[in-house]
Structure 1
Amino acid sequence: MQTFRTIKSLDQCLKGYRPAGLRVGFVPTMGFLHEGHRALIAESVARCDITVVSIFVNPTQFGPHEDLERYPRALERDHELCRTAGVSLIFVPNASEIYPPGFQTSVEPGPVAEPLCGAFRPGHFRGVITVVTKLFNIVQPDVAFFGQKDFQQCAVIRQLVRDLNLGVEIVTVPTVREPDGFALSSRNSYLSAADRERARCLSRGLFAAQAAFQAGERDSRTLVETARAQMMEVDCLQYLELRDAGTLEAIPGLVEQPAALCVAAYVGATRLIDNVLLTPPPAALSDHELELVSHAINRQATAGAEGPRSS
């Protein structure tokens, strides 16, 4: 495993891999890595020949009164996790390497960035996709891996890649949770033991709504209220919304397409986010469709019994 602190040195190393046609996977992080990050790395190691992890606490995605200065950092521990997880290259730039003197250009997100966290963190997603665009240009990965816990971020980045033809496959990896269901996050380190216990109500509420959905409930308002009833222990429920999983548009009536139930809340001074997916089962086939499928299966079975035909 090699570590690079400058764009130039990383690029020189990657130039040695690209002519060989090796598949490059990329996991962008802000460090203070945990088992959720390990899951992202594992997906990259499984799918790609080379795995690059970046560790960069991006200042442009933090608001004026947010936690940039106290965001947890543990670089030595991060290196050890990367080493044991099979990472090939680590990129650890400082802020002036990514945003040198005279830097002026930002990437502006579209409507997918406006609801949910976008409504409460002005400029956040502009900072996210600006740094992601830069990192994609620096690393030039074939595949990039992101966690489902940051559901809106994944949607914004997928839109970015489509709109700007960046040519990177985006893979979303399911949220990694503690045994009690609590979603892993670097910011969990802020929580006291008492606050950590109270914060469990977020995943408890999401799972209650998910269970109701699996039992047949489809009314969006009922599903949201089912979750809300379990979340009374938080200090501030910033939002709890049911959104189309693809477009992030609101779902006012029945849930008839894949949806995400997303929450952001404060427990003490710590802002936490989480979500669950609600996916309706495939629609039942009509009698005519069943007949066509049956006919196709029978034809395949007959062909198999006859054996292959010579041309």
Structure 2
Amino acid sequence: MRYFVALAEEGHFGRAADALNIAQPPLSQQIRAIEAELQVTLFDRSRRPIALTLAGRTLLREARQILSQMERAEAMTRRAGKGEGGRLSVGITGTAALEFAVPVLSAFNRRRPNVSLSLREMSSPAQLDALEKGEIHIGFVRPPVVDERISIRLVHQEPFLVALPAAHEKASAAAVRLADLNGTPLVIFDRLEAPGFRDLILHVCRSAGYVPAVIQDAPQMLTMLCLVGSGLGMALVPRSAQRLAIDGVVFRPLLDDSPQIELYAAWMHNKEAFLVDDLLSTIEDMAVTDQQVTDL
């Protein structure tokens, strides 16, 4: 893989061999061996400098990722062997903290007990800004994420619930259709705090034929539910919000078809990348375990 990437970047067998500090014949032999094993042509040798074929361009993307993962694996293994700890600063939205964060961070702590964890509750836009400034190492955000420098991975999904005042006429229903709530004010996230989440909620409302009499903005989930409990409107919230158990608020399943609420891990390359990788691996392992239990 290293030989292939060097040749792809140099575009010349002689220069690539020099960069690798080897003779040219062994490099040529290795490239032919890869092509023979994959049964493809990786380089167009009729051109000067030599150029990658479509198959070669595909392998280059994967090879770079493989080499990067190998380097990280080696670094993580050396650190683990030395018993080294470290510090991981994590950003998370308030809603994600209710259901997702506790089991994940608990599992990570068992895996890396010597690592100091710092957890900061922040809006998704604030997390993306903090990632860029290096103030946090990884964040858990609601989409969208448009900065191409930030890597993302889907880590959690949950359905919507309807949060209603306990005195609302539909509060005793087993489940609710949004169109049946027409005229009920809507309590929703402020655009500055959760622009993507707000747009998703409005899309669900429009698709279901729900027209609120008034739209009431709120900066955080707790504030939203307090407004609902005070009888000032209803809210569409993640399932995890019911863990807050606010007086005067009831939660009901949504009968309308609606998308799942997605949560993404977001990170940039930084000096704590090995800990970020370890946290992501912890999440993957938990997902595999949950799936195995579901299959049983």
Alignment TM-score, normalising by the size of structure 2: 0.24
Q: Tell me: higher relative CO, structure 1 or 2? Use CA pairs within 8 A at least 6 residues apart.
A: 2
Bigger helix fraction: 2
Alignment TM-score, normalising by the size of structure 1: 0.23
